[in-house]
Amino acid sequence: MKQKLWTWLVRAGLAEDDSGELAGKKRGTQTRTQRLIAMGISLGIAIILWMLVNLNNTYTTELEVALRLAELPENEVLVTEWPEVATAEVTAEGWQLVSMATNRPVVNVILGDAPSQVNVQALVGTELSSFPGLSIQRVSPVSLTLDYEPKVTKKVPIRPAIQLSYEQQHGPFGPWNVQPESVRVTGGQSVVEALESWSTLELSLEDVRRTVTRAIPLASAHNGLELDVEAVQFEQPVKQFTEGELTLFIDILGAPLGKEYTLDPSSVTVRFLVPVDQYQEVMQQRPVRAVLAYDVLEADQTGFVQPEIQKTSEAFVLDWLGVSPVQVAYYDVIDP
């Protein structure tokens, strides 16, 4: 009768069958879980007891106190390097030290009247006096001697620190553009007047095949300098190029009337890269010429001169690859 009742309860879900392999595994899992919970509780109690015992003890340690400039002179600039923190050797109870380590004390230093010296020890002592039972053994630095300069502003050009390498048969289509082109720098007179330009952060791109448009931050200000802009808009047009070739007859410029020279050869072949979409127009308009100045011929004593290749239109972008021949011979034509 008892066995039947137990079987009915198990089937009804009102009792669990603790026999068999599954029940044994379940009991093992519950036992391990209970042990882990017990170990966690024991560890937590041990930590709490350790803290209660040890944090009431007195310790001596070094504490960093932040030194924050809260006010600066209106027309002068601090040129002395300002320390971010002062180090104080303090004695206090453990719980106080933990509190100060997690919430570092901050001393606000006012320099509105441009004082020549700041008593750091006194400022730190005042800030830490709000902690009962804390004593200060020493403070470093004890004091600071400060130097100032007149505040000036100078406008300098922005220098992009950019390196671009292009995919094969691609290249820059004209110069890059930077907006704004300059930045106004405000700071100490000696530092500002020595500036010639201001750099952007470095940017390096490889396998470029399309026009590059980027916002590039300026290099961080230093020595107490201030900038009126933080970034520039950089643009470098990029196009696909192809190789072109033109044969040019050489013109002699500036020769007096009646003075003639014979050139050998009388023409040169120039090779160049040109944007694909300008190739046909360049080959039709031939916006280049080869010239020799008469003064160059007169001054030469070797019998060989190098023609100059000139673009006759700025509407096209040409990148010279080479000239053949590089030099030509010349002969003075003498009338009989």
Closest by CA position to 119, among listed 139, 148, 90, 89: 139
The percent of residues in the chain predicted with pLDDT above 90, rounded, is 44
pLDDT at 221 over 80: yes
Per-residue burial over 213-227, b = 16 or more CB atoms within 10 Å of its CB, e = otherwise = eeebebeeeeebbeb
Question: In this predicted structure, what is the pLDDT of residue 79?
Answer: 82
Sheet with 231-236: list strands edge to edge. Answer: 177-179, 231-236, 212-217
Spelled out in words, what is the top-level CATH class assigned to the domain 58-146? mainly beta
* Six-digit token string for 108: 């606000």
Closest by CA position to 60, among listed 87, 93, 86, 100: 93
pLDDT at 137 over 50: yes
Question: In this predicted structure, what is the pLDDT of residue 7?
Answer: 61
Q: Which residue has better confidence, 119 or 104?
A: 119
Distance of CA 129 to the CA centre of its chain: 42
Give me the mean pLDDT over the 156-173 stretch. Answer: 92
Task: Reply yes or no on domain 151-236 having CATH 1.10.3720.10.
Answer: no
Question: In this predicted structure, what is the pLDDT of residue 134?
Answer: 80
Q: What whole-number distance in Å separates Cα of residue 279 and Cα of residue 319?
A: 12
Residue-wise pLDDT for 264-286, tens only, equals: 999 999 999 999 999 999 999 99
Q: What whole-number distance in Å separates Cα of residue 114 and Cα of residue 289?
A: 67
Residue-wise pLDDT for 297-324, tens only, equals: 889 889 999 999 999 998 888 989 999 9
Length of the chain: 336
Question: In this predicted structure, what is the pLDDT of residue 14?
Answer: 47
Distance of CA 266 to the CA centre of its chain: 54
Q: What is the mean pLDDT of the chain?
A: 84
Closest by CA position to 281, among listed 236, 317, 324, 320: 317
Q: What whole-number distance in Å separates Cα of residue 280 and Cα of residue 282?
A: 5
Q: Which CATH number fits domain 242-333: 1.10.10.10, 1.10.1660.10, 3.90.1150.10, 2.170.120.30?
A: 2.170.120.30
